[in-house]
Structure 1
Amino acid sequence: MNYIMKKKSIYIVEDNKDIGFILQYFLSDEGFDVELFETVADFNARLVNKIPDLFLLDVMLPDGDGLDVCSQIKHLSNFKEKPVLVMSAHLPSDFEREESCADSFIPKPFDLFMILKRVNHFLPAA
């Protein structure tokens, strides 16, 4: 019997080109289907067409706030069960964490293998 496993998909919203490239390359190399967005506008335009398995969001973006994006994702019926991981050099207050509904916070700078561990926690192998 021939099984074709569908790759788990991850949407990354990160405005720093270097960090975005490294995350996309690393997670793609680990077997994930990764799409990278530098702005909230680009992310929102693509979100209409596809539902990823996991979101990885930077907090400080040129045209929005990753915590607000997280909250919006978690309030949409198609997405509310999808894990959202939020990255920031300045971790939000407890109130902001609760309001954002993020499943996990990742401090910057980060270790790539720690990111992989968190992603695998929320997207276990089928």
Structure 2
Amino acid sequence: MEAKKVFIFDDNSDILELCTFILEDAGYEVRTSESSNDIEQQVIDFMPDLIFMDNWLPDIGGIEATQKLKSNPLLKNIPVVYFSANNDIKSLSEQAGADSFLSKPFDINILEEVVHSYLRT
């Protein structure tokens, strides 16, 4: 069976490494990016089953990046989990049109639960 794919956008390489380690260990295929540059093409090239989107990203930022994905007919059905250390993450996530959100710093078990809830086979 083909592994489910998770794409993580975050400008913090430590977080990308940690998430990649956890999710690959759990059997997912992971791709990461530190910028939202050309976001739609990045996502089309990988066609993930789930996307994690940081709020603070170089280029266009998480809100606009999520809005672009959600307005693209090819990509709009891919769930986006907004994740940020911002206190206002719930409203940022709503503004972006994300499917849900995860506060940073996050518990590894919660990260796995969120991924599992979207990618349960």
**Fold similarity call, TM over 0.5:** yes
The Cα of 1:24 is off from its aligned counterpart by 0.7
The Cα of 1:47 is off from its aligned counterpart by 2.5
Q: Work out the CA distance in 1 between the residues paired with 2:83 and 2:42.
A: 21
Q: Aligned residue for 1:102?
A: 98
What secondary structure is seen at the aligned counterpart in 2 of 1:106? strand
Q: Work out the CA distance in 2 between the residues paired with 1:66 and 1:41.
A: 11
Q: Name the % identity.
A: 31
The Cα of 1:50 is off from its aligned counterpart by 2.9
Q: Aligned residue for 2:80?
A: 84
TM-score, with length taken from structure 2: 0.89
Q: Work out the CA distance in 1 between the residues paired with 2:8 and 2:65.
A: 12
TM-score, with length taken from structure 1: 0.86
- 2:121 is aligned with 1:122: no
- 2:34 is aligned with 1:22: no
The Cα of 1:97 is off from its aligned counterpart by 3.1
Unaligned ranges ≥5, structure 2: none
The Cα of 1:92 is off from its aligned counterpart by 3.4
- 2:27 is aligned with 1:31: yes
- Say how many residue pairs are matched: 121
Change over 3 Å in CA distance of 1:42–1:112 after alignment to 2:
farther
The Cα of 1:26 is off from its aligned counterpart by 0.7
Structural RMSD (CA)? 1.8
The Cα of 1:8 is off from its aligned counterpart by 0.4
Contact 1:13 1:43 in 2 (8 A): no
Which protein has the larger Cα radius of gyration, Structure 1 or Structure 2? 1
The Cα of 1:79 is off from its aligned counterpart by 1.2
Relative to its length, the structure with more helix (as a share) is 2
Q: Work out the CA distance in 2 between the residues paired with 1:71 and 1:42.
A: 13
Greater than 4 Å deviation, 4+ residue runs: 42-45
Contact 1:10 1:34 in 2 (8 A): yes
Q: Work out the CA distance in 1 between the residues paired with 2:105 and 2:91.
A: 23
Unaligned ranges ≥5, structure 1: none
